[in-house]
Structure 1
Amino acid sequence: MKDNFNMERLTGSNEIFGHPKGLMTLFFTEMWERFSYYGMRALLILFMTTAVIDGGLGFDDKTSGAIYGLYTMGVYILALPGGWFADRLLGLKKSVWYGGIIIAIGHFTMALPGLFNFLNESDVPKESLTAFDTNSFFLGLILIVLGTGLLKPNISSIVGQLYPAGSSKRDAGFSIFYMGINLGALIAPIACSTLAAYDWHLGFGLAGLGMVIGLVQYKVTGRHLDGFGEFEAAKTPQELKDRGNLIKLVWGICSVILLVIVLTFSNLIPFDVVEIADSSKYLIAIVASLYLGYLILFGGLTKDEQKKVGVIAILFFFSVLFWSGFEQAGSTLNLFAERFTDRTIGGWEIPAGYFQSINSMFIIIFAPIFGAMWVWLGRSQMEPSSPLKFAFGLLLLGIGFFVMYFAAKIAASGDLAAPYWLILTYMLHTFGELSLSPVGLSLVTKLSPAKYQGQMMGIWFLSISLGNLMAGLIAGEASGGTEEELAQMPDLYMTIVLSVVGGGLLLLLLAKPIRKLMGEVH
């Protein structure tokens, strides 16, 4: 069977437009998974901050921002154990399948209270319905985080397996795959926000339906992935026994986690989500610092490898700074669109979630232009070094928030800001992302010692995770939820500008010393 499949690959019968047909299977699976993620993400903080009487949860801005930050943080952190599960227990393809199922269940759990809205007309106390809504909301978020951690890293790994080592088509394949991500992220906020205008839970349900569509096509076209992402069967009785013991251990850990969740939802374990989020940022920073320090001093690295890991450690800080600003798109800027932006066109009010599609639209438009620009500059011997690109990303992010400073001044004066303030900000932030994000991922693969490649990539995702958490915490302060906070909002935006631009200027000064530490890596 496998020999026949390989023969198909050699003869080209299993290709479409010069790429393996399996790429289309993964393209649409990832597109619909991102549809579910970004569709729900566009609603998340708006739903939490909306008053209970209007169908939301009625949380204050600080609590909502902390929950948002913990959620987006969790998605990146659980990508690490998600990869481990695939390697040790499930294999890549099954991990994607089961991860998608868990994601869909999570979305439908969040949508479930919508089925019980008719109970508002009965004698059921409103408090009981609100508690049900809150518990299903948290449980749904946890399931989505778990499922995404299982699916996200492993579907990308299968894409890499589709191409033989050294294939010139691999980069093009990942570019096509990346376009699927942005198509899903472009369509989802518009579709889900439209339904959410009638009922929040319809928006959550549509996000879940998107994941189901992705799963159906994944199963229907799965034959194109035969021979890829398979889990290698145990070769010896001892290996089989070890796997059995490992599965028992995992089930034990999962049972304890489930018990804690149940006790928490039953209010038997008190918790303050803002304190948890605040403590988590220090924990992640300490873990990353200790690990990188240990690796440099006691990891058995050569002098050259120590210098390169040192570069990763330096850029870790700037990566956190960037993502702590950029990821406010779904929190601070989303609330600004909802509360302080004139969204009326011809008597129709644009749902605030629509603005979450702008970043993906700009990526689809400008990613090919940026790629061509770097190639042209490279041929002209003018291409900036990676640290300089990193600095440009931070500066563009800061300029974007400088635009928002003026929009915040308008809001603080009592007027609604025009939509173009947000659109211009998102465009500048997208330029910053295109300058920094792909460069960071590529640089880590080049700088990492051979025996620590996976762990270094994990550390890099940890920086993104910490940045997401910080973005949520900042949102709780800079969202203008009260009159006092609204008056302070321009100053808070200016603080963000000074922090990010200051980081970019500092990195410009450090660019040459960093280049020396990098050696021949560009």
Structure 2
Amino acid sequence: METPNNPEFEGPTIFGHPKGLMTLFFTEMWERFSYYGMRALLILFMTTAITDGGLGFDDQTSGAIYGLYTMGVYLLALPGGWLADRLFGLKKSVWYGGIIIALGHFTMALPGIFNYGSDYASKASLTPLDTNSFFLGLILIVLGTGLLKPNISSIVGQLYPAGSSKRDAGFSIFYMGINLGALIAPIACSTLAAYDWHLGFGLAGLGMVFGLIQYKLSGSTLDGYGDAPEAVGDKEISQRKKLKSTVAWIGILLAVFVAILFTGIVPFNVFAIAGASGSIIALVAFGYLGYVILFGGLNKSDKNKVGVIAILFFFSAMFWSGFEQAGSTLNLFAERFTDRSVLGFEIPTGYFQSINSMFIIIFAPIFGGLWVWLGRRNLEPSSPLKFTFGLLLLGLGFFVMYFAAKIAASGDLAAPTWLILTYMFHTFGELSLSPVGLSLVTKLAPKGYGGQMMGIWFLSVSLGNLLAGLIAGEASGGTEEALAQMPDQYMMIVYTVIGSAVVLFLLRPMIRRMMGNVH
């Protein structure tokens, strides 16, 4: 119901919220459609034989590439937000980011156009078009997502005045858009990919185009929000010109670097890049946090709170390194070792990637209500304890997979219920840890460090995604020897995650003291 004169908001509203929320809801829904649609296919496409239309990479190489890609998506949110704040503005960053994302998906679909009607079974080797379009497409998607993802959420925040009672509800609605896109996309893209992988990639790009069209057509609902910062005075105008020039040169150097990689002038090792990337992220995160504690001019209370963020960085990365195996290790398990036959119809592997979003939509309101209900009775667990629950539930999910892996190692196909149960436990873990972590970082961040501390949180997610890809190459059972070792690999993950939960639980009293009056 549209109500044009709501005193809480400047413009027209719909269902008591700014109309711009619906614009952002559908833009984000289609962007997540494109991301999760392609992600459901990514590692399957890389590990599929060349004669079946895939790239024919081994599990280790595929896992490392997958980890680098998902790492980059979160890592580039940091410079993406910075460019929006200082140069493009939020709205233009979302627009430019969406265009780059669509171009990335369509670039990945190019071989399907040029190979249309060809017989993959007669294909003996990959062509430069196969590999170059694939890697260039991934890079474009990473760059575009870095521009769009952080800034669209920032516009949502701007729609609500400070102290608005509807802000949290608005973000909840926005979050449902994310999960709606993530629910539909794997099913739609996997269905087309069953005929040709590149059709699936193309549909993901088409989804982003739909999002861009509605974003442009309904853009008037965002008038006055997310505009580019205005340069005031000759000094700021000069600084803006220098910044644009610097960004342009960085873009040119990046393009040259990518061209060198694609032409093979300088050979590169994906494992070396992955290892170096993980080390750099950890060093940057802990180095920066140490610098803030020692030289940030903070009082003892704020130093302790930054110390808590440093501790939680480790456990956050540990959680995401397990949780994000949904698109890699567990995706390959669904492809190779799960009985997907239902009434004579074989369910495409990618359909399983929709399970997490389905559970989020079902259980997110229940978890939110549970914390409120416990809070009213002074029984709500502390944030570190919720973190512990998240890790325990993640470990429980992999414990379920241990038994599924035993079935696979014996030569039988596992029932799909093993994966469904695992995804349910992992979703419960996500709901216990992810929103709590985001909220806790905003509470712990010292004044003037809010954005930077949130950047540290996303660095932990980025590192976790990289580790998830590297683990996938070892726990996927791609060879007979690896299949025999797969149950032990899953049990090692269980020991590591549960062990981390136990350590966090033991550290809980110390963390609570360091948090002070933050709960």
Q: Give the TM-score category using the shorter length.
A: over 0.9
Q: 2:296 maps to which residue? A: 299
The one-letter amino acid paired with 1:167 is: S
Distance 1:515 1:345 in 2: 50
Q: 2:233 maps to which residue? A: 236
Change (3 A) 1:90 1:36: same
CA contact (8 A) 2:97 2:143 kept: yes
Q: 2:53 maps to which residue? A: 55
Change (3 A) 1:11 1:466: closer
Match among 137, 140, 161 for residue 158 of structure 2: 161
Q: 1:19 maps to which residue? A: 17
Distance 1:501 1:187 in 2: 32
Query: Where in structure 2 are the equivalents of 1:23-422 lying within 5 Å?
Result: 23-118=21-116, 120=118, 127=125, 130-422=127-419
Secondary structure of 2:165 counterpart:
coil
Distance 1:79 1:485 in 2: 36
Query: Where in structure 2 are the equivalents of 1:362-511 lying within 5 Å?
Result: 362-511=359-508
Distance 2:332 2:111 in 1: 24
Distance 1:306 1:465 in 2: 24
Distance 2:117 2:265 in 1: 27
Change (3 A) 1:518 1:125: closer
CA shift for structure 1 position 262: 0.5
Q: How many residues align?
A: 515
The one-letter amino acid paired with 2:266 is: I
CA contact (8 A) 2:85 2:229 kept: no
CA contact (8 A) 1:9 1:15 kept: no
CA shift for structure 1 position 186: 0.2
CA shift for structure 1 position 12: 7.4
What's the C-alpha RMSD, in Å, of the aligned pairs? Answer: 1.5
Distance 1:431 1:349 in 2: 28
Secondary structure of 1:436 counterpart:
helix
Distance 2:70 2:108 in 1: 16
CA shift for structure 1 position 232: 2.5
Summarize deviations over 1:271-292 as a string: whole Å, max 9, x none.
Answer: 0112211221112111111111
Secondary structure of 1:99 counterpart:
helix
Moved more, 220-229 or 273-282: 273-282
The one-letter amino acid paired with 2:208 is: M
Distance 2:82 2:500 in 1: 34
Identity %: 76
Distance 1:8 1:404 in 2: 51
CA contact (8 A) 1:120 1:126 kept: no
CA contact (8 A) 1:397 1:429 kept: yes
Show structure 1 runs of 5+ residues with no match: 1-5
Secondary structure of 2:502 counterpart:
helix
Summarize deviations over 1:133-184 as a string: whole Å, max 9, x none.
Answer: 1110000000000000000000000000000000000000000000000000
The one-letter amino acid paired with 2:347 is: I
CA contact (8 A) 2:317 2:464 kept: yes
Change (3 A) 1:361 1:119: closer
Moved more, 317-326 or 225-234: 225-234
CA shift for structure 1 position 9: 6.4
Secondary structure of 2:474 counterpart:
helix
Distance 1:155 1:118 in 2: 37
CA shift for structure 1 position 131: 2.3
Change (3 A) 1:239 1:49: same
Summarize deviations over 1:354-381 as a string: whole Å, max 9, x none.
Answer: 0000000000000000000000000011
CA shift for structure 1 position 237: 2.1
Distance 1:223 1:33 in 2: 20
Distance 1:411 1:8 in 2: 59
Distance 1:505 1:465 in 2: 24
TM-score, normalised on structure 2? 0.97
Change (3 A) 1:14 1:333: same
Q: 1:3 maps to which residue? A: none
Distance 2:258 2:9 in 1: 52
Secondary structure of 2:265 counterpart:
coil
CA contact (8 A) 1:52 1:130 kept: no
CA contact (8 A) 2:187 2:354 kept: yes
CA contact (8 A) 2:5 2:12 kept: no
Summarize deviations over 1:378-422 as a string: whole Å, max 9, x none.
Answer: 001100000000000000000000000000000000000000000
Summarize deviations over 1:233-261 as a string: whole Å, max 9, x none.
Answer: 22212211211111111111110110010
CA contact (8 A) 2:51 2:124 kept: no
Distance 1:121 1:37 in 2: 29
